[in-house]
Amino acid sequence: MKRTLLAAALLSGCIMVSAHGAEQKADAPAKTAAKAAQSASDAAALQTVMHGNWRDPKNVARDVYRHPVETLEFFGLKPGQTVVEITPGGGWYSEILAPYLRDKGHYVAAVVDPTKVAENDRSYQQKSLDGLTRKYAAGAAQYDKVELVKYDPAAPKLGADGSADLVLTFRNVHNWVSDDNADAHFKAFFAVLKPGGVLGVVDHRAKPDTDIEAMKKSGYLTEALVVSLAEAAGFKLDAQSEVNANPKDTKDHPNGVWTLPPSNNHAVADDAKYKAIGESDRMTLRFVKPK
């Protein structure tokens, strides 16, 4: 009798496990479909923002070089995230990130505090901050929820530790390398990110054998240098993309990367030559803060 009851119990358990497994298998396609639908919705939202009439036509014209949709998708941008952009400059990416995250998420624009830099750099930083502030004020429908954080470049503090999902920096690392404060910035990125958070880096890419002094002079950095800076701060390289590559860029221009568009620091007679090259060859690197 005991054997009969035990067998019945085991059989009942098998049936329950089997039924549970069947339910899981049945749920899998539905979950996959829901995930695909959400991804499509996120992509559509990004495309909508990309075509927003608030974007400066001069900025739109540079999409062909900067590939914002592909770049942001590679970095894993999603609604609901807290995203910190480091030194947005004139707000090129602000025009995309701020409205995208306005209702679902949080966009933080981290700018250099003009009072925390050397006097000979103060005017430039103040002008940059004033221009960005005016841009945000003039477009309240897009920028009213932007959080503007001013930081000391010698000891950056970008927000509460572990508060951000994504930190983005576009064409800034070469400036920090030149100023010898890149280490401090990468440590700040690591601190503000949540465990599992992502650091996205885009910058001008030097030839692999370029020495540090040539990098500082030209504005081009080796991928190895950027990876070493990130890893020293605790990050792990997760993936690399060629979305912002430009094989036409020979990287041997008389005035470094600033010879090329958009700076165009060259003789008028050479304008066609450098327009044909376009903007610089750029690395696109995704790092992760370990969990």
Q: How confident is the model at residue 4 (pLDDT cuts 50, 70, 90)?
A: low
State pLDDT tens for residues 204-242.
999 999 999 999 999 999 999 999 999 999 999 999 999
For residue 30, what pLDDT is reported?
67
Say if residues 200 and 93 touch (Cβ distance below 8 Å).
Answer: no
Name the residue ranges covered by the structural domains of the chain. Answer: 25-288
Which CATH number fits the domain 25-288, given the four candidates 3.50.50.60, 3.30.2320.20, 3.40.50.150, 3.40.50.720?
Answer: 3.40.50.150
> Does the pLDDT value for residue 65 go beyond 80?
yes
- Confidence check: pLDDT of 14 > 60: no
Q: Report whether pLDDT(288) > 60.
A: yes
**pLDDT at 12 (0 to 100):** 59
pLDDT value at residue 27: 76
pLDDT bucket at 71, cuts 50 / 70 / 90: very high
- Our separate counts of H helices and E strands in the chain read 12, 7
Q: Rounded to an integer, what distance in angstroms lies between the CA atom of residue 242 and that of residue 284? A: 7
Residue 5 pLDDT greater than 90, yes or no: no
Q: What mean pLDDT is predicted for residues 185-202?
A: 99
Residue 9 and residue 134: Cα distance in Å, rounded? 73
pLDDT at 234: 99
Question: pLDDT band at residue 28, thresholds of 50, 70 and 90?
Answer: confident
Query: Is residue 67's pLDDT more than 80?
Result: yes
Residue 170 forms beta bridges with which residues?
202
Distance CA 32, CA 123 (A): 53
Q: Which long-range contacts (CB under 8 A, 24 or more apart) does 180-186 make?
A: 181/153, 181/154, 182/229, 183/229, 183/232, 183/233, 184/153, 184/154, 184/155, 184/156, 185/86, 185/153, 185/156, 186/229, 186/230, 186/232, 186/233, 186/235
pLDDT at 247 over 70: yes
| Mean pLDDT over the full length of the chain | 93
Query: Based on the number of CB atoms within 10 Å of its own CB, is 121 exposed (0-12), middle (13-18) or buried (19 or more)?
Result: middle
pLDDT attached to residue 281: 99
pTM here?
A: 0.88
pLDDT: is 127 or 37 the higher one? 127
pLDDT at 272: 97
Phi, psi for residue 260 in degrees, rounded to 5: -85, 165
Q: Identify which has the larger pLDDT, 136 or 4.
A: 136
With bands split at pLDDT 50, 70 and 90, how would you rate the model's confidence at 35? low
Q: Following CA atoms 18, 24, 29, 35 in sequence, which dihedral angle do they give, to the nearest 10 degrees?
A: -170
* Interval 115-122 mean pLDDT: 96
Average pLDDT over residues 254-280: 98
Give residue 273's pLDDT.
97
Residues 6 or more apart in contact with residue 6 via CB below 8 angstroms: none
pLDDT grade for 157, boundaries at 50, 70 and 90: very high
Q: Is 76 left (phi over 0), alpha (psi -120 to 50) or beta?
A: left
Give the whole-angstrom CA distance, residue 280 versus residue 206. 10
Residue with tokens 């620091």: 265
**What's the confidence (pLDDT) of residue 197?**
99
